[in-house]
Structure 1
Amino acid sequence: MTDLIISIVVLAAIAMSAAAVVAWRRGHRKQAGLMALLVLTMAANVAIWLAPTSDGDTLAGAAARTR
């Protein structure tokens, strides 16, 4: 289940970055900046969940095993 959620977050980040580019080109600078900030936040969250810990495991892997 965790893999599905992470995949959806990555796909949403890609779509949001495309929407930010479109908004920037149309002159909606504040909205584009906020969307870009959201994309960075989403990417940081995915990186935290997928970064290996000191024992070589990931947080996503540890959460999947505890269920």
Structure 2
Amino acid sequence: MTDMLPTILTLLMLASFALIAGGLHLILRRKDRRKGALMLACAAVFVGNIVILTI
């Protein structure tokens, strides 16, 4: 598991960047604010997991 940890953290960080970008795009373009907010919440959970795994 420890040899896969950097790969998992990298994928989580890339997914969180994509979720943040997509969520902001949905919110700012006023297409679907609820889905955008959920995407931002999911990104926050991912970042929280990254913080927990690195500590």
State the TM bucket, normalised to the shorter chain. Answer: 0.7 to 0.9
Alpha-carbon RMSD across the aligned residues, in angstroms, is: 0.7
The structure 2 residue matched to 1:20, chosen from 14, 20, 23, is: 23
Name the count of aligned residue pairs.
51
TM-score by length of 1: 0.72
Moved over 6 A (4+): none
The structure with the larger Rg is: 1
TM-score by length of 2: 0.86
Q: Which segments of 5 or more consecutive residues in structure 1 lack a partner in the other structure? A: 52-67
Q: Which segments of 5 or more consecutive residues in structure 2 lack a partner in the other structure? A: none
Q: Secondary structure at the match of 2:13?
A: helix
Q: Identity over the aligned pairs, expressed in percent?
A: 24
Tell me which protein shows more helix as a share of its residues: 2
More RCO (CA 8 Å, sep 6+): 2
